[in-house]
Each structure stands twice: as C-alpha cells, then as structure tokens.
Structure 1
Amino acid sequence: MKKAYMTFYSLVFGIISLSAQAISPGALPLQSGWEHANYELTDKQQIEAFESLIKKADAIKKQSPQQPDVLIWRGIIYASYAGIKGGLSALSMAKTAKADLEKAIEIDKQALNGSAYTTLGTLYYKVPGWPLGFGDKATAEKLLKNALRLNPQGIDSNYFYALFLMDEKHYKQAESYLLFAKKAAPRADRPLADKGRLLEIDKALAEVSTHMNDQIDANTAN
C-alpha cells in the first residue's frame, strides 16, 4: 500500500499546478502553503509542514465550506499528504480528497478551470481499486476528458490525460497530448509551477520515446 501511494504522489502531486484563474482569499494560503511544502521542503520538514497545512485546510474549509477552490486545494493537500505518509492512513486521506473534489464539482465544475476534474480523475486511476480503494480506470478517463473539455488549451489538463494514456500504454496518443501541453501559454502568476510542469513533460516525453522504441524493436524482432 505504501509503495502504491508513494508512486501516486511522485507521479501526480509532485508538482501539480492549477490552471490560472482567479482564486479566493481563503484558498490563497493553501496554495502558497502547498507550494512551500512541496517545492522547498523535504523529509521531516516536509511532513511537518503538511501536517500543519492539513490543520489550516480543515479550519479554512469550516469557514468556507461552499467555496470550490478551497475544496480543491484541500483535496490536493490531503492527496499529497497521503502520498508522503503511505500506509493504511493514506487511503482514508485519499477518500477525504475525493469527497472535497466531488463537492467542488457539484458547486462549480468550472472552478479553477475545471481542475477538480483533473485531480479527481488522476486519483481514480492511481488509487488501488476494489477491495482496497475506489480506483477505476473508466471513471478516471471520463473525468480527465471532462477536464479537457473545460480547459482544452491547459497545460495540466493535457499533461494529466497524457499520463493516463501512458498508464494505458497508448504511447503515441500520449505523446501528442504531451507536446500540446508543452506549447501551452505560460501563466504569469505561476512561473514556478510552469517550470516544474515543463520538466515533468520533458521527462514523460523521454519515457514515451523509450516505450515506443521498445515496441518498434519488439515488432522488428517478430
């Protein structure tokens, strides 16, 4: 279980960055706190920062229980912390993230340019399926496609759908979405997020290229 969630964290929430859109005052400290914990801290300091951030997210949600971007960021924080901690508690935190993201979609599916769909879709294909968790590939694909419909030009919506396609071994399709994501317009208010995402895209493109070359070699050998 711990290994599964560590993989989930490193692939999905290591450098997640939401699409540029106005963010509420309540969500801002969650966004900045997450960026500090995720980008600038490691090991024990990172764990302690996320534990503090969890408490802050809980308190802000109590103050603004119907604010979709607060719910989205609380969901991301819980999902990230699940990946760091691992173990049986990770599933409980992933379920909390799922509930927040579903609530955000119910209130306003377009909040943060549909980022709840992107994050929730990724949860669905990274979390183990029944009986351990709620993971489901068909649901994941539906959610990720919804994210693309809401934000077809977005760097994140294209990147995370590409990762799903890679997981399904559809490497050529994944490559096209990665290349499209790489050309997305930069977000003036999120330079660190864009820099990190572009590095992840390059890493994914290299992986896709390796897999496609392996497939060519296998076909040639046959």
Structure 2
Amino acid sequence: MKKFLAGLMIVAMGQSAWALDTTDQQRLVGIQQSWAHIQYELPEKQREAAFEQLATQASTFTRERPELAEAWIWSGIVTSSWAGAQGGLGALSKVKEARTDLEKALVLDPKALQGSAYTSLAALYDRVPGWPIGFGDADKAEQLLKQALQLNPDGIDSLYFWGDHLYRQKRYAEAQGALQKALNAAPRPGREQADAGRRKEIQALLIEVNKKLN
C-alpha cells in the first residue's frame, strides 16, 4: 500500500478566489502557501507532521465557512497530501476523508477554483489502489480529468495530472503533448513556489515519458 500512496501529490490550484471576501481570501492564500512550503521545501520526513497541522487549519476553515467550496477543496487537498506523506494502510481513511471533502465542494460549486475539485478527485482515483483495498478507478479518473480540462484547459495542474494519467495508461505520445503544454502554462500570481515545484514534477515525468517513446 505504501508504494501506491508514498508519492501522492494532489493538485494545488492557485487561481483567484474571486467569490471569497477579503478575510476568506487571506485564509485561503495562507493555506495554499503553507501547502507549497511543506510539499516542495520541507524534508520528506517532516511533511507528515506539518500536513497534520495544516489539515487542522483547513478543517477549521470548512467548519466555520461550510458554504464555501474553496474551503472544502483545500481541506481535501491538504488531507490527501497528508495521506501521501504518511503512506501505508493507515492513510486510506484520510484518502476517503479527502474524497468526501472534494465531493462536497463539487456539490457546492463545481466551477470553484476553475474546477480543481475535479482534478483533485481524479488524482485520488488514479493513485489509490482499486477494489478490494481502495476505491481507485482509472476510468473514473479520466472522466473527472476531462471535466476539469473543460473548465481549465490551459492550467498547469489540470494538464500535469492529465499527462500523468495518460502516462499511467501507456498513452505516451498523448502524455508528452499534455506535459509540454503544461510547461507553457501561464504563471499564477502568488503561487510562484507551487508553480516551480510543479514544473519540476512535469520535467521529471517528461523524462520518463520520453524514455518510453525512444
């Protein structure tokens, strides 16, 4: 189980939270920036405890602002990342919690943060083991990713996870195109750290894709 979840890195969309008031925007940005710091700067051994603390903040956000899809999206993202940092069978309960949070976000506003709930859910379905261990489902992941791309066809995260899905499905030429497009995605103001980390992941995956094509 650990080998499936150890590399779990959920999408971190950073688009403008125009539907939120100033306080909510500041809160959201704080969670986003903390996530990027933990994911891309902290040593691997420190991430589990750091994500646990951030998950508490994200959960408080949903409790105090349950009507905001953005809060549920980021609760799901943080909990998913916490599960990935933990690994093992114990992470399954967190993954299921993350799925529930993201599904709540879709009910509230499927277009929130340019559809990042779709992308984050797809990442879970792609990475979690299938039945009888977990709920992983490549077909479901593809369906969700296509919905995400309809809302955000040029986003670095939606394209990265689409390319990753195509790679997993051994559709290497398509994966190469998606990942190259992801590298050319427009920068997200205030999300420079997340963008830099994501580009490194894209470049690493492109190396693997190119090996399959050569």
TM-score, normalised to structure 2, is 0.91
Structure 2: runs of 5+ lacking an equivalent: none
Q: Could you say which residue in structure 2 is the equivalent of 1:18?
A: 13
Task: Report how far residue 39 of structure 1 moved.
Answer: 2.4
- Residue 61 (str. 1) matches residue 56 (str. 2): no
Shift of 1:4: 1.5
Q: Distance in 2 between matches of 1:190 and 1:28?
A: 9
Distance 1:201 1:157 in 2: 12
Match of 1:178, as an amino acid?
Answer: L
User: Are residues 59 and 192 of structure 1, via their aligned partners in 2, closer, same or farther at CA, if it must alter by over 3 Å?
Assistant: same
Distance 1:205 1:186 in 2: 19
* TM-score, normalised by the number of residues in structure 1: 0.88
Shift of 1:67: 0.9
Distance in 1, matches of 2:46 and 2:125, equals 29
1:11-62, Cα deviation, whole Å (9 max, x unpaired): x33xx43142226424233222222322232245332222211222222211
**Could you say if the C-alpha distance between residues 101 and 212 of structure 1 is closer, same or farther in structure 2, counting changes exceeding 3 Å?**
same
Contact 2:159/2:178, CA 8 A, preserved across alignment = yes
2:71 alignment counterpart: 70
Which AA in structure 2 matches 1:39? Y
Cα deviations by residue, 1:125-182 (Å, 9 ceiling, x for unpaired):
1101111111111111000000000111111111110100000000001111111111
Q: CA RMSD in A?
A: 1.5
CA distance in 1 between partners of 2:45 and 2:207 (Å):
31
| Gapped regions of structure 1 (runs ≥ 5) | 214-222
- Provide runs of 4+ in structure 1 moved above 3 Å: none
Aligned residues: 208
Give the match's secondary structure for 2:149. Answer: helix
Q: Which residue of 2 aligns with 1:97?
A: 98
Tell me the distance in 2 between the aligned counterparts of 1:184 and 1:35: 18
Which structure has the greater CA radius of gyration?
1
Give the distance between the partners of 2:60 and 2:134, measured in 1 at CA: 27
Q: Distance in 2 between matches of 1:176 and 1:133?
A: 30
The answer for the alignment partner of 2:193 in structure 1 is: 192
Query: What does residue 183 of structure 1 align with?
Result: 184
Identity %: 46
